[in-house]
Amino acid sequence: TCDLTLNLLRSYRRGKFDECVKWQNESLQSLPNYVYAVHNRALCFLALKRVEDAKRDYERTLELAPTFA
């Protein structure tokens, strides 16, 4: 929803990537195959140096949308 997206954007701009992961997780509870949420969470995991989590989400992104760029 709009509030969720606004919270995510605010957190991302402030560099609060742990909060971004929280917002992406909330989004994925409603829409588990939402490729943009999976991909954005991977970006946040990478910023947090959670490489294995990022890798898992990048792989999931490609499963959901093989041509995602």
For 40-65, write each residue's pLDDT tens digit: 999 999 999 999 999 999 999 999 99
Nearest Cα residue to 53 out of 62, 63, 41: 41
What confidence tens digit (pLDDT) does each residue in 24-45 have?
999 899 999 999 999 999 999 9
Instruction: Write down the pTM of the prediction.
Output: 0.87
